[in-house]
Chains A and B, each alone.
Chain A
Amino acid sequence: MSKYHLDYLEQLEAESIHIFREVAAQFERPALLFSGGKDSITMVHLAKKAFAPGKIPFPLVHIDTGHNFPEALEFRDWLAKEVNATLVVRKVEDTIQQKNLTEPRGKFPSRNWLQTYTLLDTIEEFKFDACIGGARRDEEKARAKERIFSVRDEFGQWNPKLQRPELWNIYNGRIHKGENVRVFPISNWTELDIWNYIRKENIDLPSIYFAHERQVIEHEGQLVAISEFVQPDASDVVLTKQVRYRTVGDMTCTAAVESTAANLDEVINEIIATRISERGETRIDDKVTEAAMEDRKKNGYF
Chain B
Amino acid sequence: MDLLRFITAGSVDDGKSTLIGRLLYDSKNILIDQLEALEKSTKNRTDGSVDLALLTDGLRAEREQGITIDVAYRYFTTPKRKFIIADAPGHVQYTRNMITGASNASLIIVLVDARQGVVEQTRRHSIIASLLKIPHVVVAINKMDLVEYSQDVFNNIVIDYAEVAKQLGLKNVTYIPISALNGDNIVDRSEIIDWYDGKPLLEFLEEVDTAHDIDLDNARFQVQFVIRPQTEELHDYRGYAGKIISGIYKRGDKVKVLPAGLETTISKLEVGGQEVEEVFAPQAAVIQLADDIDISRGDAIVKTEDTPVVSNELEVLLCWLDDKPLQAGNKYYLQHNSRLVRAVVKSIEYKLDVNTLQQQPVEGGVKLNEVVKATIRTASPLVYDPYDQFVVNGSAILVDETSNSTVAAVLLQ
Contacts and interface: CB of A to CB of B under 8 A. Distances in A.
A48 B284 CA distance: 13
Interface in B389-403: 391-392, 395-397, 399
Interface string A1-40: 1101111101111110110011011000000000000000
B60 A53 contact: no
B241 A51 contact: yes
B245 to A, nearest CB: 9
Contacts of B405: 162, 164, 172
A280 B41 contact: no
B248 to A, nearest CB: 6
B347 interface: no
Contact of B1 (A8, A14, A48): A8
Given A54-B229, A144-B58, A165-B321, A172 B33 contact: no
Nearest to B33: A280
Max chain A Cβ within 10 angstroms of own Cβ: one of B3, B58, B216, B243? B3
A52 B273 contact: yes
Given A25-B224, A52-B272, A174-B404, A169 B104 contact: yes
Interface residues of B, number: 71
B75 A170 contact: no
Contact of A165 (B60, B96, B338): B96
Contacts of A6: 2, 282-283
A59 to B, nearest CB: 17
B224 A141 contact: no
A160 B282 contact: no
A17 B396 CA distance: 20
Contact of A291 (B60, B272, B284): B60
Max chain A Cβ within 10 angstroms of own Cβ: one of B2, B228, B234, B248? B2
Contact of A14 (B33, B283, B333): B283
Contacts of A163: 70
Given A8-B3, A290-B37, A53 B243 contact: no
A52 B227 CA distance: 8
Interface string B61-98: 10000000011111101000110100100000000110
Interface residues of A, number: 63
Interface in B29-44: 31-34, 37, 41
Interface stretch (A187-195, A242-250, A254-262): A187-195
Interface in B264-308: 270, 272-273, 280-284, 286, 297
A23 B378 CA distance: 24
Contact of A172 (B32, B84, B395, B406): B406
B129 interface: no
Contacts of A188: 73, 75, 84
B334 to A, nearest CB: 10
A145 interface: yes
Contacts of A280: 31-34
B61 A160 contact: yes
28 contacts: A4-B216, A8-B3, A11-B2, A11-B282, A13-B284, A14-B283, A18-B224, A25-B224, A54-B234, A54-B237, A141-B57, A142-B58, A144-B58, A145-B72, A145-B73, A165-B96, A165-B97, A165-B406, A167-B409, A168-B395, A169-B337, A170-B396, A175-B404, A188-B73, A190-B82, A274-B31, A275-B32, A276-B33
Interface of B: 1-3, 31-34, 37, 41, 57-61, 70-75, 77, 81-82, 84, 87, 96-97, 99-100, 103-104, 211, 216, 224-225, 227-229, 234, 237, 239, 241-243, 248, 270, 272-273, 280-284, 286, 297, 321, 333, 335-338, 391-392, 395-397, 399, 404-406, 409
Given A13-B284, A170-B395, 16 more contacts: A4-B281, A8-B81, A14-B283, A18-B243, A22-B224, A53-B270, A53-B273, A144-B72, A168-B392, A169-B337, A170-B335, A172-B405, A174-B333, A174-B399, A190-B82, A276-B32
